[in-house]
Amino acid sequence: MRMGPAELVQAAAMARRFYLEGKSKIQIAEEFGVSRFKVARVLETALERDLVRIEIRVPAELDAERSDALRARYGLRHAVVVESPAEEQEDAPDPENLGEVAADLLGELVNEGDVLGLAWGRSTIHMAAALDRLPPCTVVQLTGVYDAGTAERGSVEAVRRAAQVSGGEAHPIYAPMLLPDPATAAALRNQTGIARAFEYFDKVTVAAVSIGSWEPGISTVHDMLSDEERAHYASLGVAAEMSAHLFDAQGRRVGRDLGERCITVEADRLRRIPEVVAIAGGQRKAAAIGAVLRSGLVTSLVTDTAAADFLLTESAAGTRPALERADPDTV
């Protein structure tokens, strides 16, 4: 039915009180001498008749719809999807804007007194470089570095940068991620500086990690191994790598012997960290991201639309790995 001029004026006035002035329906009812049910009906009619328009706006680079769908699909605590570059190359690394968005997310998640853990990865390094706010917290390195000769430009510098922004302590690890044999790795873990960093692993409350697919240039560990070793782990069905842990397509850990040669946080410790944020995107990493999400080690994800579109077509019905934190090997 058409609204008369008095009804239109009243509806506009009530809508102004409710949406712009923040008054409750009871307060509006008292002012206009009607019931709160009448106010509710008038406000509903105002929306239906286009007297009121509600817009939900987020920055253009964020995709709110995909973010919410991804969060629900995988049971993530937080999912943030950014627009992929207009002309994304199939062999491109993670978009750099993932690091910038992840830096803002850490600013929300980290509280004063927390212990922030940073694992090696290009995306975590970009994130640390983009940090401009963090509450006072301790920052600890969760893995060794890709190349000890580049430590000043890699994860060691990322830990220092985060600690500088927060005003907290930094606990870097000056050691390679992958060693020639388990004995060498064990000896390094016992060195004073590295052992001190490892002591903080059980205290980490928020961690940031990267994800790689099992192919050249996309997985740090893949690039550090010999051709024979790569073939061996590929035969085990490796689909993804995170912090030197290998996963098959279902999120089960494979090639666990590799961990004995690595300086990295153990998977069981990662699973106990309350908030683990993975930063990864791009078409080439999409399947690997899905595998790691199914591992139950990750609670939140910063990714791009290219990866999100793939993840949203995968079957994840009935599973909420990020909330359940369940190990696929034990279920």
Question: Is-contact 276 300, C-beta < 8 A?
Answer: yes
Q: 10 Å Cβ neighbour count for 141?
A: 30
| pLDDT score of 330 more than 80 | no
Question: Is-contact 163 194, C-beta < 8 A?
Answer: no
* Chain center to CA of 133: 17
Question: Is-contact 207 142, C-beta < 8 A?
Answer: yes
159: which 2 tokens? Answer: 């830990």
Per-residue pLDDT, averaged over 97-121, amounts to 92
State the pLDDT at residue 3: 72
| Residue spans per domain, the chain | 5-49, 62-324
CATH class of this structure's domain 5-49: mainly alpha
| pLDDT score of 11 more than 80 | yes
Q: How far apart are CA 211 and CA 297, in angstroms?
A: 12
State the pLDDT at residue 329: 73
In the chain, % of residues over pLDDT 70: 90
| pLDDT score of 267 more than 80 | yes
State the pLDDT at residue 59: 59
Q: How far apart are CA 85 and CA 100, in angstroms?
A: 14
State the pLDDT at residue 86: 61
Per-residue pLDDT, averaged over 127-153, amounts to 80
Q: Between these two residues, 125 and 96, which has the higher pLDDT value?
A: 125
Residue pLDDT, tens place only, 112-127: 999 999 998 888 888 9
| pLDDT score of 90 more than 80 | no
Q: Between these two residues, 57 and 255, which has the higher pLDDT value?
A: 255
Question: Is-contact 23 58, C-beta < 8 A?
Answer: no
| pLDDT score of 151 more than 50 | no
State the pLDDT at residue 238: 93
Q: How far apart are CA 76 and CA 195, in angstroms?
A: 32
State the pLDDT at residue 63: 86
CATH 3.10.50.40 given to domain 62-324? no
Q: Between these two residues, 265 and 322, which has the higher pLDDT value?
A: 265
Specify the residue for token string 């506009």: 12
| pLDDT score of 152 more than 60 | no
State the pLDDT at residue 78: 92
| pLDDT score of 87 more than 70 | no
Q: Which has the minimum average pLDDT: 41-50, 76-85, 103-112, 315-324?
A: 315-324
Q: Between these two residues, 314 and 313, which has the higher pLDDT value?
A: 313
